[in-house]
Amino acid sequence: MIGSGNRFAMTVCPDDALTASQREVQRLLGLCLLRLQAYERLIKTLVVEHEFSGLALDLEAVRRARVESISRNTLGQMAGIFLGSYLVAGDDNTAPDPELASAESLPHVGFKFRVELTEADYAQAESEIRELVQLRNTLVHHFIEQQDFDSLDGCRHAEEALIAASDLIGQSYERLREWAEDMGKALEAMQSDQFRTTMIKEIVVAPRGRNRRH
């Protein structure tokens, strides 16, 4: 049964076609909500992992704190963070972290991954993400009251709406997954021997060199 109370409850009807259609609506609604949860989990992962900075020995603690903070955000809040942080329009000319720039003796590490889009592509991506947030809010808070589940036509209309919603969520998730794969490749490159050698020089050799000059 979808909903609770007399207002939203489906009428029990011996009509097998209506009963089957009601059950299909419930299945499709559950599928949409599960897909939205998967999307939300992935976007939170990207926001957590796409940038970090701090003392080399504190990075894990910094990450744990970031995970805890992000976990409390809604999908709408995550969209606001994701846009302009992970997705950016045009060239990214963000100033370097002042903490990193001023580090002299203690080894600091910083990493930031962003997807740079043209102004037009960014506007389209922003519109699609905002649309998904609105869809999520509608499904969670308003879908039941907007539909008629006591008639076969009403259930079929709800089915069509949910099928369209599921397709939209799936397409949005695939785009998010493609961006995640791009970041995964960048993180994989950081595990290479060449990258580790460079980082060791920056963390160990460079600070010593600076100290010798002072």
126-162 pLDDT, tens digit each: 999 999 999 999 999 999 999 999 999 999 999 999 9
What is the mean predicted confidence (pLDDT) over 181-186?
Answer: 81
Distance CA 176, CA 147 (A): 30
Paired with 108 in beta bridges are 55
What is the mean predicted confidence (pLDDT) over 189-203?
Answer: 51
When mean pLDDT is compared across 14-23, 195-204, 205-214, the lowest value belongs to 205-214
* Whole-number average pLDDT of the chain: 79
- Matching residue, tokens 């720039």: 101
Q: Characterize the bridge pairing of strands 108-112 and 51-55.
A: antiparallel
The domain total for the chain is 1
**What pLDDT shows up at residue 212?**
36
Contact 143, 157 (CB under 8 A): no
List the one residue out of 110, 114, 112 whose CA is nearest residue 100.
110
Paired with 117 in beta bridges are 89
206 vs 139, more confident: 139
Distance CA 108, CA 54 (A): 5
pLDDT category, 19, cuts 50, 70, 90? very high
At 33-92, the pLDDT tens digits run 999 999 999 999 888 888 777 676 667 777 788 888 888 899 999 999 999 889 999 765
pLDDT category, 15, cuts 50, 70, 90? confident
Distance CA 87, CA 91 (A): 11
At 83-116, the pLDDT tens digits run 988 999 976 555 545 454 444 556 666 678 888 9
Contact 39, 176 (CB under 8 A): yes
List the one residue out of 102, 124, 70 whose CA is nearest residue 210.
102
Positive or negative CA dihedral for 13, 17, 21, 27? positive
* Residue span of the structural domain in which 65 resides: 5-213
**What pLDDT shows up at residue 204?**
44
Contact 28, 163 (CB under 8 A): yes
Positive or negative CA dihedral for 59, 64, 65, 70? positive
Distance CA 50, CA 189 (A): 14
**What pLDDT shows up at residue 92?**
55
Instruction: Give me the amino acid identity at 191.
Output: Q
